[in-house]
Every structure is written in C-alpha cells, then in structure tokens.
Structure 1
C-alpha cells in the first residue's frame, strides 16, 4: 500500500484535502495531508521556499513513510517537486495537480509574463505576504457557492518568500516517475515546461474536466486518479 503526502496550493492548508483523504484510506492506503509553514494552523511561522521543501521531507521522515506518492497542487508543485528527489528510494511517484513545476534556479513567479513584478509588489505592500483573493477569483472553475465560501473562509495570506526564492534541483524532473493532472477549465493545455517534461518516458498526463481546485470540485474523481498513479 502507498503512503500519500498531500500538499495544497497557495493560501491553503491540510484541510483542503478533507474530502479526498477518506477515499484514499478506504482503499487501504495511508493519507497524510500536510500544512506548510506559515499557512493555516501554522500561520505566522517564518517560511522561505526551502522551508516548504523541508516541511515535505520532514513529514516523510518523521512518519517513517515508504512507497510514498507525493502530491503537489498549484504552487506546491514547486516544493513537492524538489522534495521528490530528496526522499530517494522512498518515492513511488510524484503527482502534480494542475501545478507549477520547479526548475533549478527559478522561482514560482519567474515564468510569469512580468517576471513576477506584480506579485512581488503585492507582497511588499502586504507585509511580506501574498494577500488573500476574493470569491470572484474562483468563478468558472466548477465550484459551488458553498465550496467557494469554504475556500475563501479557510485561506490565509501566503508567505511571500516562498514564491520568489529559487528552486534547487540536483537533476532533471524528467527522471522522476510523475503524473501531471491538467484541469481543463483552468488551462486547455499544459505549459511549455510541462509539455517538455511529458516527453519523458517516466511522465504521463491525465486530464480532468474541472477547474483548478479539483479537491473541492471533484474529490472522488481526483482520488481515483491518485489511486491509479500509486499503482503504476
């Protein structure tokens, strides 16, 4: 049986996986939803990008997990992708859920059209944190009003340094066994960096007909994909 370590994207915590975890455990697997430093119940803890990488590695080591499937959503693909190579033989697969992927020496905002200038300015204006977004940000992603209210209500400002500090990779992500989940209501096709990685024999693409937050909009369907990934 696999041990899933689930990490949600910016502004979210372990609670974001509440509807996915039961399906994984019902199938006999371990499921460990992780809150990164500075978010949710860990709000206020200082955090840079490497702090978040270490959060993931520490969870694996502290729990003594083996046959690990690391799951990173949105922003969290950046720390999860780095942690995946650092846990060595413990890794079974890494799953990127409509996420960014790390590139050595590049930050989360490096690939943004303005090089992240807008995000950096927002962080500077908000005391070092990426501020919350309004409910309108979630429109068009297959979410009900109740689901949007839950996301907005549970979100916390995101530690800004985690978005602007560079990733550190010892080798290409293409060498890792990986599944990329593309949420079609968010983007019709993967970005250039992911498209290149998908040419690797170790990577595969799965599409979901939902928006950027499938753990809320389609938790059972997402769980089924994760279970399939664990069996590969």
Structure 2
C-alpha cells in the first residue's frame, strides 16, 4: 500500500482532488489531499514557497506516513519536488502532473519579465484564471465553472522565493505525467530529467487539469506509478 500525498496547482485547494481520492482508496491506498497555506480554506494563512514545502512535509510527518508518493500538479511540482527530497526514506516515488519542477536557486517566476514580477509583488497575489482561459483543455462547462468558482488568489511569495535542493532532482524516483492538450512535449528541463535512469514519462490525452477532466484515468496512472 502506498500513501499518496496530493498537491494541486496554483489557485486550488485539497478539494481539487475530490474525484481522485476515492479511486485511490478503493484501490487500497492512502490518499491525503493537501491545501497549501494561503489558498482555499487556508487563504488567510501567511504563505511562501518554503512554507508550502513544509505544508507537504508536515502531512507526511504528522501522519507518520511511509511508502509515500508525493504528487505535485502544475505550480505545486516545485514545492512537491523539494518535499519529496526532504522526507528521505519515507519517499516511494514523486509524481509530477503536467507540472513545473524545482531547480536549486530558481523560483517559479524566475523567467517572468521584470514588469510582471513587479506587478505580482505589488499586488501580493496571482489572480485566478477566468473561464475563457480553460478553453481547449478537455473540460466541460460544468467542470470549468467548478474550477473557477473554487479558485482563490495565489500568494505571490510562493512564486518568487527560490527552490532549495540539496541534491540533483534526477536522483529521485519519479514519474512525469504530460497532458497532451497543454503541449505535446515536456519543457527542456523536464526532458533532461527524463533522460536519466530514475524518471519515466506517461502521457494523458487531456488538458492541464486531469483531476477534473479524467480523474479515474489519472488515479489509474497514479496507482501504476506508485
């Protein structure tokens, strides 16, 4: 039995995994969906990227979880990748769902323009997407409404703080799930990691939010990866 620790991307909370968790548990695994600080029901909690890393580590340590599969989606691949390293021998595998991956000393917004980063810092938040932004991602109108209605502004500090890794990310056992409606190939940094012996690639014929568009298939892939 694996213990899945599930972390959704920007603007989302633990509720984003509501259609995935039952399938994981039905397959005999533990499933622990995380709401990161500053988001959803925790939107008033101070947040930054290293706080998000600790949020994930805390779930593992409080539950004394073993054989942990840390799952990071989109933005949350960055804190999830760091947390996977920090939990040591509790980790069974890391899974990155169409996500960014951490690089030591770099932030989510490292390659944004100066003007965009300044605007982000001035506002303190990254505003949620609108319904139109979800077009072409394999989502029904009801699914888009569900995502938009549930989203909260994403704390800026989590996007501008640098990642901290003590060893190469490619040393972790990992699966990268590429959602093909959001681009046919992973980013160059992910391709480099996939060239190593410990990373594998799985493709899904859906968009960037598979926990909504194809939750059962995503759960099946997670179980196989774990």
Short-chain TM bin? over 0.9
Question: Shift in Å at residue 46 of structure 1?
Answer: 0.7
SS in structure 2 of the partner of residue 75 of structure 1:
helix
Q: 2:121 is matched with which residue: 82, 100, 124?
A: 124
Question: Structure 1: any 5+ residue segments left out of the alignment?
Answer: none
User: When the two structures are aligned, how many residues end up with a matched partner?
Assistant: 226
Correspondence for 1:220: 216
Matched ranges for 1:1-232 at <5 A:
1-110=1-110, 112=111, 115-117=112-114, 119-126=116-123, 128-230=124-226
SS of 2:62's equivalent? Answer: helix
| In structure 1, C-alpha distance between the alignment counterparts of 2:36 and 2:197, rounded to whole Å | 31
Residue 165 of structure 1: how far off its partner (Å): 0.6
Q: CA RMSD in A?
A: 0.9
> Taking structure 2 as the reference length, what is the TM-score of the superposition?
0.98
Contact 1:107 1:167 in 2 (8 A): yes
Deviation string for 1:73-110 (max 9, x for gaps)? 00000000000010000000000000000000000122
Where 2:15 maps in the other structure, the secondary structure is helix
Runs of 4+ in structure 1 deviating by more than 4 angstroms, as ranges, are none
TM-score normalised by L of structure 1: 0.95
Could you list the runs of 5+ residues in structure 2 that have no partner in the other structure?
none
In structure 1, C-alpha distance between the alignment counterparts of 2:108 and 2:148, rounded to whole Å: 22
Q: In 2 relative to 1, CA 22–63 (structure 1 residues): closer, same or farther, beyond 3 Å?
A: same
